[in-house]
Amino acid sequence: MSYNYGRTPLSWAAYEGHIGVVKLLLGQNNVNLNMRDRDGRTALSLAADREHGEVVKLLLEQKDIDPNMPDNDGRTPISWAAEYGNDGIVKRLLGRKDINPDIPDNDGRTPISWAAGYCFGRVVELLLGRNDINPNTPDNDGRTPISWAAKRGGGRVVKLLLEQKDINPNMPDNGGRTPISWAAKKGGDRVVKLLLEQKDINPNMPDHGGRTPISWAAEYGSDSIVERLLGRKDINPDMPDTDGRTPIWWAAKSDSDKVVKLLLGREEVNPNRADKYGETPLRCAVGGGGRSRALKLLLERAEVNPNMADIDGNTPLSWAAIAGYDGVVKLLLGREDIKPSITDMDGRTPLWWAEKRGHHEVAKVLLQWEDANRNMVDGIPSDSS
């Protein structure tokens, strides 16, 4: 079934970039330059979107053309050109005295937001050259142009925006995420470096989930960013989020051993701090199985408690037995302070779990341990004699 676009011959010619046909149609007396199709798109909008520069030039030479007409999504011709990084078309549109280069679309995104979001430095530079551009305009999600650029790792664009006197590098979006929060998660070391060089930057600002920039960097294993953040005197590397999870918890969860090592090097980091479910970084590392590098690093530290139980009473050893990780069980049993017979809230030991789940290798390892109570039956010690 074909879609009825509702386009005029001029719109189709502009869309396809047929300059000869456009010239022919413009020579007619009754051609409506600003007629919109079913999506609200004009010939100029389509030409700008499709990057047909010569068609855009020709249309802008017409007296009755409206360069600011939005489509059904609120997108103007310059918005489309900015998104696709066509600086030639943007420059040509900016040459019009009646152009409005800062109109937000239905999502609240302005042309500079689109250009920044796709890291088109030349377009951003052209737009910043105007005195009618607000580089701090947030979209409907509260995201500013610098927030978009930071997330995408646009170092050049972030630098251009930071050079503006009125830029706010700490503006949070609707989720509480600041530019440095997005950069720490996905944007890369260069962007984080640029943001940290700002005098008024806050490296500890939590989002609505309580997550700080170093928390996001820790989860994603960005050791260079974690190291850079740790270089700040005002950094708090042990701030828990709303679930009680600290950066080292997230690093252990994702088996980011380099990050775990960096954080363990800080005195203020508590490697035993549990989240609201009672899960410690060591418990999280157990989930990575015997190949977990973070697990080995944590177990090497004397201050790490291998016997801390979660809210259900399960210890790291219990979880290793439940999962059938015999390699992890051996690593945990290598600790002199391990207590292999600790029971959970239902009185079940690691050995009970191993036998219940049919993990015979794990059970065999535990039975070799002299402190394992092999006569425990659903939490009740029984006498085998």
Beta bridge partners of 380: 377
Q: What is the pLDDT of residue 198?
A: 95
- Going by C-alpha positions, the residue among 100, 26, 20, 99 that lies closest to residue 52 is 20
Q: Compute φ and ψ for 380, nearest 5 degrees.
A: -110, 115
Task: Please state, as a whole number, how many other Cβ atoms lie within 10 Å of the Cβ of residue 72.
Answer: 12
- Going by C-alpha positions, the residue among 222, 229, 225, 219 that lies closest to residue 266 is 229
Q: What is the pLDDT of residue 341?
A: 92
Q: Compute φ and ψ for 351, nearest 5 degrees.
A: -65, -40
Task: Please state, as a whole number, how many other Cβ atoms lie within 10 Å of the Cβ of residue 46.
Answer: 28
Q: What is the pLDDT of residue 303?
A: 97
DSSP 191-229: HHHHHHTSTT--TT---TTS--HHHHHHHTT-HHHHHHH
* Helix, strand or coil, per DSSP, at residue 60: helix
Q: What tokens does 31 get?
A: 């051609």
Task: Please state, as a whole number, how many other Cβ atoms lie within 10 Å of the Cβ of residue 189.
Answer: 18
Beta bridge partners of 377: 380
Q: What is the pLDDT of residue 292?
A: 85
* Helix, strand or coil, per DSSP, at residue 345: coil
- Going by C-alpha positions, the residue among 295, 300, 297 that lies closest to residue 323 is 295
* Helix, strand or coil, per DSSP, at residue 377: strand
Q: Which residues contact 300 (CB under 8 A, 6 or more apart)?
A: none
> For the chain, how many helices (H) and strands (E)?
22, 2
Q: What tokens does 262 get?
A: 């960096």
Q: Which residues contact 377 (CB under 8 A, 6 or more apart)?
A: none
Overall residue count recorded for the chain in this entry: 385
pLDDT in tens, 320-352: 999 999 999 999 999 999 999 999 999 999 999
Residues of the chain with pLDDT under 70: 1-3, 370-385
- Going by C-alpha positions, the residue among 253, 242, 262 that lies closest to residue 286 is 253
Q: What is the pLDDT of residue 290?
A: 75
pTM above the 0.75 mark? yes
Q: What is the pLDDT of residue 289?
A: 81
Kind of pairing, strands 376-377 and 380-381? Answer: antiparallel
* Helix, strand or coil, per DSSP, at residue 380: strand
Is residue 37 exposed (0-12), middle (13-18) or buried (19+ Cβ within 10 Å)? buried
Q: What is the pLDDT of residue 375?
A: 55
Q: What are the structural domains of the chain?
A: 211-305 (1.25.40.20), 306-385 (1.25.40.20)
